[in-house]
Amino acid sequence: MGTDTDRYTGEYAVEVAGLTVDLERGAVNVVSDISFALAPGEILGLIGESGSGKTTVGSALLGHARAGTAITGGKIVVDGVDLLSLNRKELRRYRGRVISYVPQDPRASLNPAMRLGAQLQEALTVHGVASRQQRLARIRQVLDEVKLPSDDRFLRRYPHELSGGQQQRVVLALSFLCRPKVVVLDEPTTGLDVTTQAHVLRTVRELCRSHRTAAVYVSHDLAVVADLADRIAVMYSGRLVEVGAAEEVALRAAHPYSRALLDVVPDPHRRREIRTIRGRVAALHERPDGCVFADRCDFVEPECRRQPIGVVRIGDGHTALCRRTEALPVRAGQEEESTRVGGTPDDAVRTPGEVYLAVRDLRASYGGKEVLHGIDLTVPRGVVTALVGESGSGKTTLARCLGGLHDEATGEVSVDGRRLAFGAHERSAADRREVQYIFQNASEALNPRKTVGRSIEQPLRVLGGADGPLSQRVASLLADVALGSDAADKYPSQLSGGERQRVTIARALATAPTILICDEITSALDVSVQSAILLLLKRLCADSGLTMFFVTHNLAVVRAIADRVVVLNEGRIVEQGPVDHVLDRPQDPYTRQLLGDTPSLLHA
């Protein structure tokens, strides 16, 4: 979509025209007719849900197609050369030197057995920088640019000796070492806390501007890229459905899908109704005729399904693949959209004397080093409490102490006046049924060799508490998390990321707990799946009276789901209270910093 690449003028750092990637077997395309052009230093945000094709496009820009797919058409012109015309050997010389790639997980790019200095030197050696002195000078320069130490001591470190944010900055340094014309960044801040994310985004912006490097920033979150990108391209089902200036798309989106993505993004500055995008991205062989978004669109007409949709020009450089752009209502004003979800935090804590869970002088250590320092906390029954802080702040350690997963601790944790041991192995079966934990990575939390049904049955088999046949209980739990009973016979690999997370929630609910601990369970999900999970948890808390702890670094998510918030910094509580009170009038500088670093469409 778009006409920037109808002519090759040499004005652009990268020009993409008609890029198409197909399955090797069959005539089904994964992405089709992708066209855009970027000037030197320009950043394009490539947005879409999981399954939209954005990572396929990012990989194709380096001349790479995933197993089972092939690039079957189009041009990718970088530095005057069509990368798709190069053979494999020639393409290897271009990767890293002319066009580079930053993956979502920095561990995928860093060799754990090599020191950082050796890895950085290797990249320059491969691309022809023979002088060791020149290599070291370039390495020190780029490390300074990404705000990392450049001394010999740092260069002797191994990747595991760095934090996640530092690892990602090293990968950025690797990608900019050879001063490429183009860099592709595939969700490089997913899983990072908001402060580290803000630092990485600022670094990307500064590097692109100072080196005149064009960038394609792949993400699922409009709020993350709205302030970073110059332009935004929205992908759905392998098509570019809207392209325009970042501010235009963020404030005046013209395609129903772009509007839907905007509506599901939570905002840290106001409490909004949690919304979802109904349905799911269709499988490749299930795509509808005509508009690919027709099955999920609230504005669809019969004509939308009958024939391919042409490009509609909305304004200067702003286009949409939709025949009903004029039918979309003007988006509601920010004040009009503001709404309470499930009552105010004050409503949730109107009976402060009914303490259900109490933490007194909790101190936790790792190998004798104290990381939690005198935590005092009381929580009424049925309240959603968010534990917030940067990586290393102690929020997950606190959650693990509550869940019985960390026993190097002192102090007291009590539920309904009954003291709990810190180690789950020392808790009774009744205590373990009462407190359940949901982990961040659903893929690692589920046994790949067990069916979903067997995984959900497991806590009932170990801890007891089932009334009636286990199969009936499993079917009921799957229904509670909006999964069909047929999911019980599937394996985790047959489910999407959002579906796997729903299974872990169903498993945690199997023993009818009164306390549910959710540890960063939405941080790696795209925004539409995140909103569906948040809405599900809201409903479960309302229906079952669950007391929930929600560990997160994202204050936008906190505003959407929590009643109370506890802010941790270096193992200490620096601020706590009703969510709206704390986020509207933060008293501690650390809370204000977290709020300022949290992406928001309101302040894009």
**303 and 389 share one domain:** no
Q: Which pTM does this prediction carry?
A: 0.86
* 3 state SS of 248: helix
Residue 154 located in a structural domain:
no
Tell me the CA distances in angstroms from 89 to 86, 95, 305, one per residue in order: 8, 10, 44
Residue 145 located in a structural domain:
no
**308 and 433 share one domain:** no
Residue 245 located in a structural domain:
yes
Domain end residue (candidates: 327, 353, 381): 327
pLDDT digits (tens, 9 = 90+) for 254-294: 999 999 999 999 989 988 888 889 888 888 888 888 999 99
| 20, β-bridge pairs | 73
CA-CA-CA-CA torsion sign (284, 286, 290, 291): negative
Tell me the range of 76-80, 133-137, 294-298, 571-575 where mean pLDDT is highest.
571-575
**434 and 550 share one domain:** yes
Burial label, 298 (beta-carbon count in 10 A; 0-12, 13-18, 19+)? exposed
Distance CA 371, CA 571 (A): 5
Q: 344: pLDDT confidence band, cut at 50, 70 and 90?
A: very low
**358 and 273 share one domain:** no
Residue 503 located in a structural domain:
no
**How are strands ordered across the β-sheet holding 547-552?**
435-438, 515-519, 547-552, 384-388, 564-569, 572-578
CATH number at residue 431: 3.40.50.300
**74 and 29 share one domain:** yes
**298 and 366 share one domain:** no
Residue 350 located in a structural domain:
yes
Strands (E), 395-514: 409-415, 418-420, 435-438
CA-CA-CA-CA torsion sign (375, 378, 379, 385): negative
pLDDT digits (tens, 9 = 90+) for 567-602: 999 999 999 999 999 999 999 999 999 999 998 886
**201 and 253 share one domain:** yes
**419 and 554 share one domain:** yes
Q: How many separate domains does the chain show?
A: 2
pLDDT digits (tens, 9 = 90+) for 313-325: 998 999 999 999 9
Residue 60 located in a structural domain:
yes
Domain end residue (candidates: 327, 361, 394): 327
Domain range enclosing 571: 345-446+514-603
Residue 152 located in a structural domain:
no
Is the pLDDT confidence value at 339 over 50? no
**281 and 401 share one domain:** no
Domain end residue (candidates: 273, 295, 327): 327
**248 and 322 share one domain:** yes
Distance CA 567, CA 394 (A): 10
**27 and 94 share one domain:** yes
Question: Which residue do the tokens 């009643």 mark?
Answer: 563
* 3 state SS of 410: strand
Residue 464 located in a structural domain:
no
**Higher-pLDDT residue of 342, 435:** 435
